[in-house]
Amino acid sequence: MRDLIETNFGLVLLISCVVGLALPSLAAVPDASASVALAILTYASCFKLKDGGFSEINWWNVSVFYVLRFIILPIILLLIAKQFFPAYAAAIFLLAILPTAVSSPAFANMFGGRVPPAFAIVILSTSLAPFLITLQCSLVLADASVTPTPLPLFRTLTFCVFVPMLLYFITHNFARLGKVMYDNVKIISIVLVAFVIALVIAKQREFILDNTAGIIIPILLTLVCYIIFLACGWLFTKGKDRETRISFATCSMFNNVALGVSVALLHFPQNVILFVAVSEMAWAVLPMMFRWFLGKAK
């Protein structure tokens, strides 16, 4: 069963969408449980840091990519969305500023990429996320109808990011715990992400079922966003070896949508929550999309 889940995680995530629609009782689970699940996910993923390889990381290259992907690109997408899809502008912006998924190094390795640069992007984007997301929502989004209050937003992000990191540095020398977490980080990640997806879908179940046609545009927009994210990472590394291009494309495309769910549930209005719920569905098919792309890309 474990091997089946780990080798078919895209399918598992799609099944979690169905579970969310089929089990309305999940909606009774407190919103804060998504943040708890994300904190556990961050904690578990930290144990992969011992894989090392940091000496070969080009931190300047990673920093330039970070600025382009997580600061400049979201602003560009926000301006475009305000012109053509104003109802979804805030949600698209939130989707774009989310840091790369903490499981990206594992994804990069699975797709044939290099792990060290993936680790570097995860560390940089995740560590700065509480500050960047809070500042960008306050200064760039600047829409009173959707912009969350900065301090509560920062507290949520701190709980999801910094607290697990601190706990990791306190406990990572416990040999037995470290081995268990390191050996099981992939299955833990898949199960937790699947739980978060099922939870947010369940909380939006009534609206989704009553407005099935109304989610078509959000689904298409989220897929377009993920294609843009993929293109950003792939084009940024043009001229580099294929393994490096795969790593940057993976980190650009696979964002921490679980963090987006936690933030949206606690701090954003209904329309943003719905968009993030739909983005969970799109995120679930990304592994299959990326495999197809790599089969065609030169």
Model pLDDT for residues 144-156, shown as the tens digit of each residue:
566 667 777 788 7
pLDDT for residue 146: 64
CA angle 271, 202, 198 (to 5 degrees): 110
CA-based R_g, the chain, Å? 18
Of 38-42, 181-185, 252-256, the range with the highest mean pLDDT is 252-256
Q: 3-state SS of the chain?
A: CHHHHHHCHHHHHHHHHHHHHHCHHHHHCCCHHHHHHHHHHHHHHHHHHHHCCHHHCCHHHHHHHHHHHHHHHHHHHHHHHHHHCHHHHHHHHHHHHCCECCCHHHHHHHCCCCHHHHHHHHHHHHHHHHHHHHHHHHHHHCCCCCCCCHHHHHHHHHHHHHHHHHHHHHHCCCHHHHHHHHHHHHHHHHHHHHHHHHHHHHHCHHHHHHCHHHHHHHHHHHHHHHHHHHHHHHHHCCCCCHHHHHHHHHHHHCECHHHHHHHHHHHCCHHHHHHHHHHHHHHHCHHHHHHHHHHHCC
Cα 48 from Cα 31, distance rounded (Å): 28
Closest to 20 in 3D by CA, of 286, 288, 278, 283: 278
Give the pLDDT band (50/70/90) at residue 298.
low
CA dihedral in degrees (277, 289, 189, 172; nearest 10)? Answer: -130
pLDDT above 70: residue 172? yes
pLDDT above 80: residue 38? no
pLDDT above 80: residue 46? no
The two tokens of residue 146 are 């959707």
User: Model confidence over 80-111: pLDDT tens digits?
Assistant: 999 998 888 888 999 999 988 877 777 787 78
Of 120-129, 164-173, 205-214, 247-256, the range with the highest mean pLDDT is 247-256
Cα 150 from Cα 49, distance rounded (Å): 30
157 neighbors 137 (Cβ within 8 angstroms): no
Q: How many CB atoms lie within 10 A of CB 286?
A: 24
User: What percent of the chain is predicted at pLDDT more than 70?
Assistant: 91
- Tell me the average pLDDT across 258-273: 79
* Reported pTM: 0.80
- Tell me the average pLDDT across 244-254: 92
Helical pair 286-296 and 242-253, crossing angle rounded to 10 deg = 150
Residue 179 CB partners (closer than 8 Å, separation 6+): none
Cα 101 from Cα 167, distance rounded (Å): 19
Cα 20 from Cα 108, distance rounded (Å): 28
